[in-house]
Amino acid sequence: MSATTKRPRPWTTATLGGMASYLDGATIVTVGMSSVVLQEQFGLSAWAVGALNSVLMLMFATGAVVGGRLGDLLGRRAVYSVDLVIYAVGVLTVILAPNPTVLFAGVVVTGLAMGADVPTSLALMAEEAAEGRQSSTVAYSQTLWLAGVSVVQILGFFVGGWGPVATQILFGHLLLVSLAVWFMRRGVRESAAWQRSRTASASAPRRDLRAVFRRPYGMALLGTGLYFVISGIMPNTVGQFGAYLVVNLGHSTVRVFSLIGWGTMVVGIAIALLFQRLADSPLRRVLLMIGLASLALGPLAAIVGGYSVASLVVLFAMNTIAGTWAGEGLYKVWSQEVFPTEIRSTAQGITFGAARYVMAAFGLFTPTLVQRTPTLFMGILIALGAVATLIGLLWLPRLPQHGLVDANAHEPVDSVRTHKATEDTSTS
């Protein structure tokens, strides 16, 4: 193997790539946690606070679509080694913002750069994974996503009452981590699979953007996109508005929610580690079924329990399971498996973007639904869980796994199996 295609240590690449997910989770929680302080500091209205969080999600979606495509056209490293510098500039702008206009500008830049980093980094993780460990390597990104959320929650617990200084510390954490990861990423080589795809004659038709929407990949794009949108609404909504649910439905306090958050944090990381361990085994389907059941049982428990704090704890626990075993965690794995190298980042950017656009829109209506008709709100989540179950059990497992490549022949697994079957038939 030549020096240009020699792989670095897979888990080193996986960690540096997975830090995109760490920063994704940490950024969302940091902006949400800092909203109260920023509201007072800049005199923001309630609408402006909601808009600040929505802008982050919308820019992430846009960045994912654009960055995902650039990752396929220019290479993983071309995007991967630059976007965190842009991200750091955005975060620094937020820290130094003298007025709301500059604050929003910083959030826009931060969201765009973060969105571009995630699909590109996930593609690199999958392509540089050790043989037979692709799914587990990608699942590792979900563990790091939860780690990012957890670190910000812990920091927020200690500095939450420090006013504007707390906000600077929280965003300062994002700045330092992004610069450290960017520095370490400079030694990561380009994806060997992407390099091969640029010279293979059969790859040219797949590099065309139109290939993403045509057979045989169009159905995979539609299936993974619909699944992520539908299965991701509950984990995203409950995670984003957890404190709001505890205060307005459970008639409790933010402090109680913080205690619940610490408990679900520990459970969440344990769940992510288990998923990471089993992602390449047949037991992944068992986790999928438990996760899909959690999508419906969590909201149902809240309704049956009369929205008591105890019933909301069950909802949060189920939400944690669903988010990893049947939500974003599983979606990330499936996306690597069903798309070939040439369009993997593009396809994932499109589906990531579509999901974040829908989640941002759903979030605008969530507070009103929770206040006026909480049972309708929970009923919508149950219905979405039922639809996700049908897609997750009956559709996506049937998709050809174009992304699983034989390490020696560099052909899709289905193709390798077909050749093998032909050889067996000819020799018998």
Q: pTM score, two decimals?
A: 0.84
Same domain, 342 and 215: yes
Residue 144 placed within a domain: yes
Q: Give me the torsion for CA of 248, 252, 256, 258, rounded to 10°.
A: 20
**Any idea what the CATH number is for the domain that residue 223 is in?**
1.20.1250.20
Same domain, 249 and 132: no
Number of domains in the chain: 2
Same domain, 161 and 213: no
Of the residues 171, 196, 221, the one at which a domain ends: 196
User: What's residue 7's pLDDT?
Assistant: 52
Of the residues 142, 171, 196, the one at which a domain ends: 196
User: What's residue 407's pLDDT?
Assistant: 35
* 3-state secondary structure (DSSP) of residue 395: helix
Q: Which helix (H) or strand (E) holds 257?
A: helix 254-278
**Mean pLDDT, each 10-residue run in order, the chain (428 residues):** 51 90 92 84 84 89 94 87 93 96 96 94 88 88 91 84 89 97 88 80 66 88 95 88 86 81 87 93 95 96 96 94 93 91 91 91 85 94 96 92 55 38 36
Same domain, 64 and 165: yes
Q: Which helix (H) or strand (E) holds 413?
A: helix 413-427
Same domain, 263 and 337: yes
Domain, as residue range, for 375: 208-418
Same domain, 130 and 225: no
Residue 426 placed within a domain: no
Same domain, 158 and 243: no
User: What's residue 110's pLDDT?
Assistant: 97
- The first and second tokens of residue 146, run together, are 């939860």
Residue 338 placed within a domain: yes
Residue 427 placed within a domain: no
Nearest-angstrom CA–CA distance, 428 and 406: 24
Same domain, 219 and 297: yes
Residue 201 placed within a domain: no
* β-pair partners for 426: none
Of the residues 196, 221, 254, the one at which a domain ends: 196
Same domain, 356 and 212: yes
Q: How far is CA 337 from CA 75, 348, 411, 412, in A?
A: 19, 11, 13, 10
Same domain, 212 and 149: no
How far is residue 94 CA from its own chain's centroid? 23
Residue 423 placed within a domain: no
- The first and second tokens of residue 61, run together, are 């979606």
User: What's residue 428's pLDDT?
Assistant: 33
What is the 8-class DSSP label of residue 281?
S
User: What's residue 201's pLDDT?
Assistant: 57
Residue 425 placed within a domain: no
Nearest-angstrom CA–CA distance, 22 and 156: 16
Residue 11 placed within a domain: yes
User: What's residue 204's pLDDT?
Assistant: 59
User: What's residue 402's pLDDT?
Assistant: 80
Phi, psi of 269 (to 5 degrees): -65, -40
Same domain, 375 and 311: yes
User: What's residue 306's pLDDT?
Assistant: 96
Nearest Cα to 234, choosing from 24, 379, 346?
379
Residue pair 31/39 in contact (Cβ under 8 Å)? The answer is no
Same domain, 223 and 357: yes
User: What's residue 260's pLDDT?
Assistant: 85
